[in-house]
Structure 1
Amino acid sequence: MSLIGSEVKPFKAQAYHNGKFVEVTEGDFKGKWSIICFYPADFTFVCPTELEDLQNNYETFKKLGAEVYSVSTDTHFTHKAWHDHSETIRKLTYVMIGDPSHTLSRNFDVLIEAEGLADRGTFLVDPDGIIQSVEINAGNIGRDANILIDKIKAAQYVRNNPGEVCPAKWKEGGATLKPSLDLVGKI
């Protein structure tokens, strides 16, 4: 079953954020755009490259009105330890959610049950708490934050311009389409 168009399910989790432990719930995903980025585990190899890429683009995400949340099945304590010991992870200023109960990983359908780890899943949630985009990669394939930026811009555009859609490879300022009977078979 697709998660597109569904509301984020209720949860409560502990997170590490800017030197503090904080609680995060589904309510934190409302009122702004949210990027929820699941990754398999702390102290690994591809994961820190992705998290650093998100951090390198964090200011752009914030300018777009989006908050970033990284999630693994590790605890918030493990996130702090990784933050304290890795030069790459030490740079992170967005929220790192711990999901040792696997609640979020199950809610977003990314839990690898046999391993107790999450797939590389990226979810774009609108200000109403509705999932607008889902991307899931195999564990050995890293993601690119620049592609995510384009997805956010497209999602924001269609939200603010009902009746228009963004075609393939759409970039901000590019031409959009207005689906109608007149376009059928002409594209």
Structure 2
Amino acid sequence: MSLIGKEVLPFTAQAYHNGDFVTVSDENLKGQWSIFCFYPADFTFVCPTELEDLQNQYAELKSLGVEVYSVSTDTHFTHKAWHDHSETINKIEYVMIGDPSQKISRNFEVLNEEEGLADRGTFIIDPDGVIQTVEINAGGIGRDASTLVNKVKAAQYVRNNPGEVCPAKWQEGSETLTPSLDLVGKI
């Protein structure tokens, strides 16, 4: 069953953010665009490369009105320790949510029950708290955060321009489509 078009289920969690422990809930998502980036675990191999890549896109995502949240089943204490001891993770400015109860990972349907770890899942969430995109990768396949910028721009365009859709490889400023009987079989 797809999570596309579904509202994020209620949650409250502790997180590490810019030197502080903070509480984050589903209410923080309302009124802004959000990205949830689930990853298996702190102090691992592929995960820090992905989180650094996401940090490299963070300024541009913020300029689009997007807040970024990384989530693993580690605690917020573990996030702080990783942040303090890794040159790569020390660069991170976005919120790092701890999900030791695994509730958030279950809510987003990315929990690997056997391992007790989250799969590599990326979700773009609109200002109403509704999931607009889902990407889930196998554990050994890292993600490319640069693709998120165009996905966010497309999601924002579609939200602001009802009746229009963005075709494959759409870039900001390029043509969109207006679905109609006239287009059927002509694309």
TM, length-normalised to structure 1: 0.99
Q: Which ranges of structure 1 fall in alignment gaps of 5 or more residues?
A: none
Partner of 1:55 in structure 2?
A: 55
Structure 1 partner of 2:137: 137
Cross-structure match for 1:31 = 31
Taking the TM superposition and a 5 Å limit, the aligned residue runs for 1:78-97 are 78-97=78-97
Q: 1:42: Cα distance to partner?
A: 0.1
Cα deviation for residue 58 of structure 1 reads 0.6
The percentage of counterpart residues that share the same residue type is: 78
Q: Distance in 2 between matches of 1:18 and 1:169?
A: 35
What SS does the corresponding residue of 2:69 show, helix, strand or coil? strand
Aligned to 1:172: 172
Aligned counterparts of 1:109 and 1:117: Cα–Cα separation in 2: 11
* Amino acid in the other structure paired with 1:17: H
Q: Distance in 2 between matches of 1:177 and 1:140?
A: 36
Length, aligned pairs only: 187
Aligned to 2:42: 42
Work out the CA distance in 1 between the residues paired with 2:182 and 2:10: 43
| Structure 1: 4+ residue segments shifted above 6 A | none
- What SS does structure 2 have at the residue aligned with 1:80? helix
Q: SS of the residue aligned with 1:27? A: helix
Can you give the 5+ residue segments of structure 2 that lack an aligned partner in the other structure? none
Partner of 2:110: 110
The one-letter amino acid paired with 1:137 is N
Scaled by the length of structure 2, what TM-score is found? 0.99
**Deviation per CA, 1:19-44, whole angstroms, max 9, x where unpaired?**
11000000011111000000000000
Distance 2:93 2:112 in 1: 27
Q: Matched residue of 1:62: which SS?
A: helix
Deviations, residues 96-130 of structure 1 (Å, cap 9, x unaligned): 00000000000000000000000000000000000
Distance in 1 between residues matched to 2:38 and 2:100, nearest whole Å: 13
Distance 1:118 1:165 in 2: 32
* In structure 2, distance between residues paired with 1:30 and 1:55: 22
Give the alignment's Cα RMSD to 1 decimal: 0.4
